[in-house]
Structure 1
């Protein structure tokens, strides 16, 4: 065996497991939003300025949703860094400017925090500076 091969495989396995958990969390978040009357417009939307976990609409509000799953809801709520918030703002602005169907909607940045054994927590307009909308 090549030196370092086992740690690389272990890293790959952990990365694959984390991606799988992330996808599950996004599905749970989407179901939660749908139960609240949102229409899901997309999952993992790639823009030149960053990825958007979920894009949802309710009425005239376009919710750009970051999904975080951690061991506690509190950890999930604290998991979004200022850099990530800036990336979300830029990606949201790009998306709403380049998709005609979205231009007339108010853009809002939301967070859905998940933790095992707890109901999801949806923070609508989690970071109001830069965008703001009702609903």
Structure 2
């Protein structure tokens, strides 16, 4: 009987993964700076729950915002990167976070997509998940 050892991921895949992670973190930092510049207050960044992760939770003008940040070459590509299963995970995570933080005071809630485009252009799509 021959045993096969799982070979490690090729080096180029590891580099690509590290680069994607770094790009994602940079995009999130830009999104945070943008929402703060617009008068918002970031409550949580990379909020992890057993149901999923929410990139940014912010409060702006009485609205609790759960934002998914995508660094993509176009606004269309950012929108296409959100799948129904991911929307469900984010919404479940948001329910948990609201229950776990009863001290949050807000008038409304929405789920936004923040697209970070080439040249560090930040575009917000408010209430992006309403279609689901």
TM-score, normalised via structure 1 length: 0.84
Provide the secondary structure at the position in 2 that maps to 1:108. Answer: strand
Matches within 5 A, 1:54-133: 54-102=56-104, 104-117=106-119, 119-128=121-130
Provide the secondary structure at the position in 2 that maps to 1:100. Answer: coil
Tell me how large the CA RMSD over aligned residues is. Answer: 2.2
Q: Structure 1 stretch 102-111 or stretch 68-77: which is displaced more?
A: 102-111
**Count of aligned residue pairs for this structure pair:** 128
Shift of 1:103: 6.1
Query: Which residues of structure 1 form unaligned runs of 5+?
Result: 131-135
In 2, Cα distance between equivalents of 1:45 and 1:66: 11
Provide the secondary structure at the position in 2 that maps to 1:67. Answer: strand
Shift of 1:112: 0.5
Q: 2:18 aligns with which of 16, 19, 22?
A: 16
In 1, Cα distance between equivalents of 2:45 and 2:120: 23
Shift of 1:119: 2.4
Query: Which residues of structure 2 form unaligned runs of 5+?
Result: 1-6
Q: Which runs of 4+ in 1 moved over 3 A?
A: none
8 A Cα contact 2:64 2:106, kept in partner: no
Partner of 2:33: 31
Shift of 1:73: 2.1
TM-score, normalised via structure 2 length: 0.86
Shift of 1:98: 1.4
8 A Cα contact 2:46 2:56, kept in partner: yes
8 A Cα contact 2:66 2:111, kept in partner: yes
In 1, Cα distance between equivalents of 2:83 and 2:111: 14
Distance 1:114 1:85, change over 3 A: same
